[in-house]
Amino acid sequence: MNRRIFLLLGAHSTLVWALAGKSLAQTVACLKSREYSLPVLPDLPNQVMPDLIGAPDDPASWPSFREMLFSWRKEMKKNSSPDSRYDRPEYAWCSSAYNCYFLMMGDRLFLDPEKGEFTVERFLEYTEKEFGRIDMVVLWHAYPRIGLDERNQFDFYREMPGGIPQLRKITDEFHRRNVKVFINYNPWDTGTRQESASDSDLLSSLIGDLDADGIFLDTLSEGNPELLEKVEAVKEGVAFESELALPAEQIPHHQMSWAQWFTDTPTPGILRNKWLERRHMQHAISRWNSDRTSDLHTAWMNGSGTMIWENVFGQWMGWNQRDKSFLRSISPIQKRYTGLFSGEGWTPLALIPEKEHLYANLWQKEGVRLWTLVNRSDRPLTGSLLCVDHHHGDQYYDLIQGKKIRPGASRGKQSLNGVIPPRGIGCFLALPPTQRGKDFRLFLASQARISQSWNLTADFPALKATRRPVAPTRAYPVTPPGMVRIDAFTGPQQRIFRVRETGCYTSTDPGFINEVYPALHHNVTLQIYEEFPPFLIDEVPVTNRMFRAFLEASGYAPANRENFLRHWNHHEIPHGKEDHPVVYVNLADARAFALWAGKRLPTEGEWQFAGQGSDRRRYPWGNHWSEGKANGGETGDTTPVRTFPEGISPSGCYDLCGNVWEMTESEYLDQRNRFCILKGGSFYQAKGSGWYFDGGPQTLDFSAKMILIAPGLDRCSSVGFRCAADLL
């Protein structure tokens, strides 16, 4: 078939191979007869070939498919850039960095929230047990918290526990375990605190300070030349990995890229970038899928890598036991035979397997032949799986099962027998005598132990997020000054969340995010059943003056003082801000104040009912926004409480909309995440990107999920609190 037609049709493999072998005139006639519209045929740019090249279903078409692949690659290589980093020894590590772990730095597995210490050893013990070896980590830091106040993406690294010196120690610990470290770059962060230096300068400086090995290019398909040049001037061998599909012409300058949501064909397709440059590393990732076998098949059949991502911005998306079992078996083979997977001896769909829904690719070098196999069906495949040519002296091994196999004769070939579970993977090796290393027997024994430990359970490994119990206060017989009485409530409450990747309450449920993810950034309405007796709540948020009285009377000093009352001047309230809401306090600080005052924090439901009353109004004053009734951010700062008397709620509460976000006693925890529900909105709003945290005044039914990371980062310029108490 005409090559230009093939490229234009891209991954529509069924149509492509229906037209295989036809002339251009015949192809046009065929397309017209089927009522397809044929586009104008331009001089095609390099990147027209799809990111994942779909393969034909009919095995009779596989030879012409391979011929097309090899011809296209040869033509592309003629025009490729001679300036390729792959030939330089400092970048050699990239071609074997198969398993990357996307690590939320606030993950409770990695950061001890009580001690404020990073637990690298504990994290690596976990990943080795669950996934086998990991080769690199992305230290993710800011999103989805960035935009809650003015701190920028670089501040989030600087203000992690221990700051930059501690992050350098983390990097050194990973390096001692031969794990590479990537930092993250959010190019969309243009609406928070701006610095005098450029992003390129700040990133290159951070690479030098941390001795990091790469930069993950969030939301980008490629890095700009200035960034690449400045980083290389600081440290050679730093890799760049794009999140979006990397254009073909950028392969020489970017050693890695994500293969994110690449839709494969029933017959395993070919990763375009890996096909063009065998040393390029792509990490297959479909972040919201609870079944990872599609990503594993893509990685295995392309000699490429996998992105391990369990904690997706505070939403738990753990791997099932089956997929982890397969990855543990794949990884050692990939590492041992990197020379095959990054070399020139790759033959896609090299032969027709003996079983339906079984596919095999061949990798060979210096007499060694290795076949990667995948079972696309939901039933096990057993018996004769492949028939291969025999080379004199070759011995055959099942590298997944970790054992030598004795082939049988079939049609003048060697029949290789084995067992591949449903949606599973397989691997056969033909090894000449000269290639049998001394440690090969140990390698086989290790592979056998891994396969014997397989657990093929495919159930989603849910983590239960539970709300922290509310500690009761002393029971007040009457309403004390500064508080108001709120009636009991039983029934549903409407809650509105802006759909973000961090989810809402259900960090255990992949179904919610799977349903809403295609439409990020819209509002979703939930109905939450609430039941609580009458209670008391403060008329106003706790002010700087009130908090100073608490400090003087109690002598309170937090165990971790990072950013504690950061806006005060040498322990003194800034002049004129005595009656502004206190900020730069975290949940522990707020609870300490409440305990001293004989109170507690209100739950999310209590806070909302105190503002809405029985008519469930959207704002304290009614159902529509009104200028001058709340702090809308006009001054760029907090305002004294009671500044907007027309914005009072029916119950008599001030500042429930705007001014500062208010922490509630609705704190949730699972084994990996901790978060608190905020209410009310604030004066601050980061603008310029939909990825920022929700800002500005909010309706009373709006809730925001604040991922809790560490004390210094949890203390913000836009977050305060008010107290509640129990009635007799």
Specify whether 210 is located in the same domain as 274: yes
- CA–CA dist 357, 378 (Å, integer): 9
Give the model's pLDDT for residue 82: 67
The residue-averaged pLDDT of 250-255 equals 94
The residue-averaged pLDDT of 662-685 equals 96
User: What is the domain range of residue 615?
Assistant: 466-470+484-726
The single residue listed with the structure tokens 């009761």 is 472
CA gyration radius, the chain: 30
Q: pLDDT tens digits, residue range 540-580?
A: 999 999 999 999 999 999 999 999 999 999 889 999 999 99
Q: Three-state SS string across 517-581, please? A: HHHCCCEEEEEEEEEECCEEEECCCCEHHHHHHHHHHHCCCCCCCCCCCCCCECCECCCCCCCCE
Give the model's pLDDT for residue 463: 87
Q: Establish if 171 belongs to a structural domain.
A: yes
Quick one: pLDDT band at residue 13, thresholds 50, 70, 90?
very low
Give the bridge partners for 719, in sequence order.
Answer: 661
- Which of 323-337, 430-444, 604-618 is predicted with the least confidence, judged by mean pLDDT? 430-444
Give the model's pLDDT for residue 518: 54
Give the model's pLDDT for residue 462: 87
Written as one letter, the residue type at 58 is: D
Specify whether 295 is located in the same domain as 354: no
Q: Establish if 314 belongs to a structural domain.
A: no
Last residue of a domain, one of 309, 330, 355: 309
* Res. 510: pLDDT tops 60: no
Task: Count the Cβ atoms, other than its own, within 10 Å of residue 49.
Answer: 23
Specify whether 219 is located in the same domain as 330: no
Specify whether 161 is located in the same domain as 289: yes
Last residue of a domain, one of 280, 309, 338: 309
* Res. 581: pLDDT tops 50: yes
Specify whether 643 is located in the same domain as 530: yes
Give the model's pLDDT for residue 115: 87
The residue-averaged pLDDT of 318-328 equals 97
Q: pLDDT tens digits, residue range 631-643?
A: 999 999 999 999 9
Q: What are the tokens at 451?
A: 């396969």
Decide if 727 contacts 535 (C-beta within 8 A): yes
Instruction: Please provide residue 454's backbone torsions phi and psi, each rounded to the nearest 5 degrees.
Output: -55, 140
Ramachandran class of 116: left when φ > 0, alpha when ψ lies in -120 to 50, beta otherwise: left
Specify whether 165 is located in the same domain as 52: no
- Which of 43-47, 394-398, 641-645, 688-692 is predicted with the least confidence, judged by mean pLDDT? 43-47
CATH code (residue 392): 2.60.40.1180
* Res. 179: pLDDT tops 50: yes
- Which of 15-29, 67-81, 111-125 is predicted with the least confidence, judged by mean pLDDT? 15-29
The residue-averaged pLDDT of 103-123 equals 94
Give the model's pLDDT for residue 503: 80
Decide if 298 contacts 262 (C-beta within 8 A): yes
Q: Establish if 144 belongs to a structural domain.
A: yes
Specify whether 426 is located in the same domain as 566: no
* Res. 101: pLDDT tops 60: yes
Q: Establish if 315 belongs to a structural domain.
A: no
Specify whether 23 is located in the same domain as 112: no
Q: What is the pTM of this model?
A: 0.93
- CA–CA dist 397, 406 (Å, integer): 8
For 721, residues 6+ apart whose C-beta sits below 8 A from its C-beta are 541, 542, 585, 590, 593, 594, 601, 662, 663
The residue-averaged pLDDT of 264-282 equals 97
Specify whether 210 is located in the same domain as 249: yes
Quick one: pLDDT band at residue 502, thresholds 50, 70, 90?
confident
Q: Establish if 477 belongs to a structural domain.
A: no
Q: Establish if 476 belongs to a structural domain.
A: no
Last residue of a domain, one of 61, 78, 95: 78
Q: Establish if 629 belongs to a structural domain.
A: yes
The residue-averaged pLDDT of 58-78 equals 94
Specify whether 91 is located in the same domain as 16: no
Q: Establish if 447 belongs to a structural domain.
A: yes
Specify whether 24 is located in the same domain as 84: no
Query: Based on the structure, what is the number of domains in the chain?
Result: 4
Decide if 322 contacts 458 (C-beta within 8 A): yes
* Res. 708: pLDDT tops 90: yes
Q: What are the tokens at 230?
A: 């400045």
Q: What are the tokens at 204?
A: 């290159």
Specify whether 60 is located in the same domain as 94: no
CATH code (residue 636): 3.90.1580.10
